Structure 1
């Protein structure tokens, strides 16, 4: 499973980036895509951290 995760990671971002490039996306759209992706990843890490913390503290 770990190997699959390593090889499958990022495919969604590659597809979205390819679409953006193919549709003559602007630099502004590329920056927005980057900000949305970064925010989503950061939020998911915080959520996982809170979940782990709550299980340790029996909340």
Structure 2
């Protein structure tokens, strides 16, 4: 699985970071960074929940 980010939509709100801080981080400028864009299958449920928590639908899980 791979995390994809639509940078045009992302507003740096941090819901993803709150749900899965091991994979997402919002910096001081409210820019979100994916820390691991290909998380292991064992983290699928946590990453899926974080992706689905995005209020502006900027995240997608592929694969």
With the length of structure 1 as denominator, give the TM-score of the two structures.
Answer: 0.27
Highest relative contact order (Cα 8 Å, sep 6+), 1 or 2? 2
Q: Determine which structure has the larger strand proportion and give its number.
A: 2
| TM-score (norm: length of structure 2) | 0.26
